[in-house]
Structure 1
Amino acid sequence: MIRLASTHAAITAPLVASDTAFPGIPIGRSLLDGRAFRLSPALVSDRILPSTNSVALGGLGSGKSTTAKVRSRREILDHGHQLVVVDSFGETQSGEWTSLARSVSGKVVTAGEFQLNPLSELLPPAVREELVRSLIVAVAPDALDPHAGYALQHALTHPKATSLSGLMDALVSPEDGRWSAAELKTWGVGVAMALSRYTDGSLSGLFDGDDASLPETDLPMVVFDFTRLDRNSPAIPALMAAVACWVENVWLPQSAAPHRHLVLEEAWQILLSPATAALVQRLLKNSRKEGLSLDVVMHTLSDLGEGAAQDLARLCEIAHVGRLPHDEAELVGRVLGLPAWAVAQIPSLGPGQAVWKVGPGYVDIVQTLITEEEAELTDTSSRRRRAQQILQDPAARQDVEPTEHSPDEEEADGGPDATRPDDECGPDLIEHDDQERGEEDHGSAWGWDMPPNIIEPAHAGTEDVRHRDVLQAAREGRLSEAAQLAAIGEREDITAYGINSTEAARWLVTRAQVADLSGDRHQAATLRANVTRMGKNLDWFEQPPEPGRSAEPAWHHVPLTSAPEPTGPEKEPRSRTRRRVWPYAATAAALSLAIVGVGHMADADRKADDRKTKAAAYKGRAGAEVRLDGVKADVLARWSRDRDRVVVELRTYFEKDARYLRIDANGETSSSVKPANWFADSPELSLPVDDPLADVTVRVAVGGRKWTQDTQAPSQMIRLSPTGVAYDAETGERLPSDL
């Protein structure tokens, strides 16, 4: 379990994780409360998760690639998804994803053993031009000025332009057009020289074939293995541009899978190229329409520099961040909008542990769990373990003959002082990390038989900064957060010290000050009156700060343990002081109670007026038009003549794509499934009514064309008023209606 200190950060952690659960494949367990963590983004409602794209970040050995591979394998086996992986990093001249691809009957396409013809007839003309431009920019960023761009457009219309060699001939020997052949030749020479890198230079054999030897589009996984190429070679962004065009124009239109994934391993090499970054950005923006998830895996955001490349990370609704240094963690927190408590935990995360952010509001710390089979398929640290075995076994060391290694291989090994290679967290480090560390710290080990506890109680003699953090949040306008933090702190101290303790009274005063800052003087007066009724000295709690302290009340810095009772002659003066204070406290209590009484009368009058207005507008019916999972539906509510019942109905009429309908309210459920040759029936609920003027809140769910028994239908909470209007119960937005 992750153990957090008793600070603002720690107090907010359980709030954010709370009891939210997502549908999908199992990934691991929460280190905040021990719950199982599941997630298949394609199954989550688009109201919660607008897009399914993800970014995985983490340092060497953090486990980000292992988690990405395990997620991919489980999506293929459990849900029939398809993947295309661009793999540009491997340990032994072979990609990290090779073993995994072969285990699911996929295909590995190795750079140098296949050709991608950017001028293939399989690609539309506009795509061919865009791809050729990407190849040119990859090797000569300044080659395409306006004149060169026109010369390229002219050459692409030539009959010879069916391969790069033919295109180069058309550039150096153009025919007359709008401009003369001599001018076109002058403008096109630089472009032809750039393309010559792919036909005669170091990049030959990748793009200069007469046709494209492309893989099938119905495979569970296709891995484009670029690991044999120089990591700084312009061939990688050039190949990525070709793969992106194939994905967009061939694979996506022909794939019949329910959902597709494009995985970019070591994505920084791809995103730093302006041309390929633009292609990736287009895939990101169109991913929802295409049923595609773009899953980006890389070390840090600083690898991308500042600007457009980092902006791409912001388009990912899902992020899992493994161990990073403090400065990188702060950068990631700013770019991805992580809360401060999560950013503080990133540098101390273990292998396989990551901060997960799902959508705009869910944050958790999760330990990835893998099986023995998955450990073998995702293991990429065999070299390091062999070296460790040799060092531990002298006999094995003598049997090993020295061999010559290239500089690249030595760098991949990391040398004798290097840290663990990228994401090589084997099964022991991922599944049993708690056990390994348990030997080092027996006193603080977290066993799963113990009840989860993520917050250490405040210790006597330490500074309690929780009140200060609550007030700071309120002053910054984060009133809801401040109220939640205060409620959590109050509950903890009541449990630890009792409901009439000084610590509990402190929280009542802090909540009163939050109410003052929010403008709710009635609530503030009520809370202060409660402090006085507890027999506590209100003046002492709200005394000004001591000299040299912060601007917070001085009691924020008082130790939680009470001072020892004085003995002997000191008792008499103390009692006299208490008698002098109590008259003022009693007066304050009387004034507070008077204010409370006036406030209650005002509230009662306001509620009576509201009921009169609502009774005058009473219609006994309400309706709302919603669109869920591509299906238009109407929610109707009709109150009975006696006003003691309300019938709520969900209708889709003759919508052929409405495969599943459901209503939930007051613990009751009604649903219907579309039969084979007809339309779905309209489910309805008849609910008892205690107050005929009260609104009725229901949750409706609709499964569209792609809904199956194994998927969760998108849903929406709706509040229906007997005055004829309806609202989104979560946002308060008024919904349209045909009534």
Structure 2
Amino acid sequence: MSQEPEPRVVFGPRDQHGLILGLRAGQIGILLCGVLLALGAITASQANPLAILAVLALAVLSGAAALMPVGGRGVDEWVPVVIRHLLGHPATWRSIQPSRGQRVSAGPTSEPRLIPAQPSFPPMLRHCSVLAVPVPRGELGVVRDTQLGTWTAVLRVRGSSFALLDSSEKARRMAAWGVAQAALAHHGCVQERVRVISAICGASLSRPLVPEERVAIELAVHAATPRVPWQAPTLPRVVDALLSPSERTAGEVHLSADELRTASRSVALELRRLVDGDLRGMFDSETSGDIDLQAPLVSFDLSAVYGTAALPILMACVGAWFQGVLTRDDQTKRIVVLDEAWAVLSNLETASWLRGSYKLARSYGVQYLAVLHRLADLSAAGDANSAQVRMARGLLADTETVVVYGQAPAEVDNTRSLLDLNDTEARLISTLPRGTALWRVGRRSHLVEHRVGPDERDLVDSDQRMREGRR
């Protein structure tokens, strides 16, 4: 069996861009020096034939030095490298394995596995990490940017000089990086799907998932995900993987197939309800292609499933999707409006997500606006001592700005208790005219009259349907 040849590595300078007509600064300098020397020689020779031949030779040499490459690079690029080398201070960089970097295993049939060994980065680059991605016959240096969500292969480095690969080896590594990049993208999509399906199961079961169930979901999503990047797994395939796990899949967590099937039975049957039960048709196919979740304004209208078993599941899907958006950390400031917020709080899974989101709102640059018709709606989240009601009261206590419009007299005592209003504030909220609200910003209170412009009236007019149609 023949052994594959080692990659051909050539010592050379870094690439430089042209300044004028594609010529680099060094090339222009060599040509100018050749022209000046030729003019000087012609002036001094006084039409001597031998001197004219020497001038012509000088012009040809200067043109060749400027334009003809040596080892793929021009003389102007080689001069500083040779000088540095002779002085004993060559500036080199090796791309085979980044120093002190992480190691990642990524290929068309394996998921990336990171072994932390993070180098010390300055604060402005804390979101970057250096990886070594194995490819056939070597490794690629890769910079991972969690802020932008990108993986960048290090194929060229700015510096005075470094080791160059020949064209065939460069092409081979570029192709290998394409395979590795597809595997890394596949890994990110799988983790996003695991988060969404875990949220669906928690919302449908109305309880947090136990570790065995979360592991089973992760293994099932991996098993149901096609190995080609343009295809996505569907919920029926995940249900099949949960109900009939293979011995190989179960072996990854040192369990038998029967043990894994028993541990995941509850989530498997609950997910099956979405495929073949009373909620079939809503979650058992791929996401509609005409939904743009990257638009500047995204609105989820769940009024069609209000009061049904699908409502908490859809809210869990939205919450899991939004959590994935936040973890990309793209420095975008966002405003999230939760209308009828009691519905979000009525489910333990979505209430827990909202509580965690409130706690991290500042670090993610998110402003949350929760809309309630009455503070008594908080009691609709559950029983008086339920975890949901306690979370609702905690969210109210964590809210920095509270806007209270006019309240019915029967609501005054409850509102006063929950918001810790004084006597004057409690007396005012039952007499406020329409459009006027009591603003509580921290511990300070203000009466604010809200005026709606003509372009805004249609957005807030909730009586429009009552005025339309026949009487």
TM-score by length of 1: 0.33
Alignment of structure 1 residues 393-408 onto 2, 5 Å:
397=471
Q: Which residue of 2 aligns with 1:589?
A: none
Alignment of structure 1 residues 332-351 onto 2, 5 Å:
332-351=415-434
Q: Which residue of 2 aligns with 1:138?
A: 203
Q: Distance in 2 between matches of 1:377 and 1:352?
A: 15
Q: Which residue of 1 aligns with 2:241?
A: 170
Question: What's the CA shift string for 1:373-393, capped at 9, x where partnerless?
Answer: 211232121232348xx7xxx
Q: Distance in 1 between matches of 2:455 and 2:375?
A: 32
Q: Which residue of 2 aligns with 1:264?
A: 338
- SS of the residue 1:223 aligns to: coil
Q: Which residue of 2 aligns with 1:545?
A: none
Q: Which residue of 2 aligns with 1:380?
A: 462
Could you tell me whether the CA contact under 8 Å between 2:236 and 2:275 is conserved in 1?
yes
Q: Distance in 2 between matches of 1:126 and 1:168?
A: 17
Q: Distance in 1 between matches of 2:396 and 2:239?
A: 37
Q: Which residue of 2 aligns with 1:184?
A: 260
- SS of the residue 2:448 aligns to: strand
Which amino acid in 2 is paired with 1:383? R
**Closer, same or farther in 2 for the Cα pair 1:252/1:159, shift >3 Å?**
closer
Q: Distance in 2 between matches of 1:238 and 1:344?
A: 41
1:365 aligns with 2:454: no
Q: Which residue of 1 aligns with 2:282?
A: 206
1:356 CA displacement:
0.7
Could you tell me whether the CA contact under 8 Å between 1:323 and 1:349 is conserved in 2?
yes
Q: Which residue of 1 aligns with 2:406?
A: 323
**Closer, same or farther in 2 for the Cα pair 1:166/1:384, shift >3 Å?**
same
Could you tell me whether the CA contact under 8 Å between 1:165 and 1:208 is conserved in 2?
yes
**Closer, same or farther in 2 for the Cα pair 1:327/1:164, shift >3 Å?**
same
Q: Which residue of 2 aligns with 1:158?
A: 223
1:185 CA displacement:
2.0
Q: Distance in 2 between matches of 1:147 and 1:336?
A: 41
Could you tell me whether the CA contact under 8 Å between 1:266 and 1:299 is conserved in 2?
yes
- SS of the residue 2:338 aligns to: strand
- Please list every run of 5 or more consecutive structure 1 residues that lacks an aligned counterpart in the other structure: 1-119, 391-396, 398-739
1:272 CA displacement:
1.4
Q: Distance in 1 between matches of 2:327 and 2:291?
A: 13
Could you tell me whether the CA contact under 8 Å between 2:439 and 2:446 is conserved in 1?
yes
1:279 aligns with 2:344: no
Q: Distance in 1 between matches of 2:188 and 2:418?
A: 36
1:355 aligns with 2:420: no
Question: What's the CA shift string for 1:19-69, capped at 9, x where partnerless?
Answer: xxxxxxxxxxxxxxxxxxxxxxxxxxxxxxxxxxxxxxxxxxxxxxxxxxx
1:262 CA displacement:
0.7
1:179 CA displacement:
2.0
Q: Distance in 1 between matches of 2:411 and 2:240?
A: 49
Which amino acid in 1 is paired with 2:433? G
| Match of residue 236, structure 1, among 311, 314, 339 | 311
Which amino acid in 2 is paired with 1:290? Y
**Closer, same or farther in 2 for the Cα pair 1:122/1:267, shift >3 Å?**
farther
- SS of the residue 2:304 aligns to: coil
Q: Distance in 1 between matches of 2:408 and 2:463?
A: 22
Identity percentage of aligned residues: 29
Q: Distance in 2 between matches of 1:243 and 1:194?
A: 19
1:235 CA displacement:
2.1
**Closer, same or farther in 2 for the Cα pair 1:364/1:226, shift >3 Å?**
same
Which amino acid in 1 is paired with 2:462? T
**Closer, same or farther in 2 for the Cα pair 1:301/1:124, shift >3 Å?**
farther
1:186 CA displacement:
2.7
1:320 CA displacement:
0.4
**Closer, same or farther in 2 for the Cα pair 1:301/1:128, shift >3 Å?**
farther
1:246 aligns with 2:317: no
1:355 CA displacement:
1.1
- SS of the residue 1:373 aligns to: coil
Which amino acid in 2 is paired with 1:232? G
- Please list every run of 5 or more consecutive structure 2 residues that lacks an aligned counterpart in the other structure: 1-184, 227-232, 380-388
**Closer, same or farther in 2 for the Cα pair 1:196/1:351, shift >3 Å?**
farther
**Closer, same or farther in 2 for the Cα pair 1:150/1:222, shift >3 Å?**
closer
Q: Which residue of 1 aligns with 2:397?
A: 314
Which amino acid in 2 is paired with 1:382? Q
Q: Which residue of 2 aligns with 1:425?
A: none
Could you tell me whether the CA contact under 8 Å between 1:218 and 1:255 is conserved in 2?
no
- SS of the residue 1:158 aligns to: helix
TM-score by length of 2: 0.51
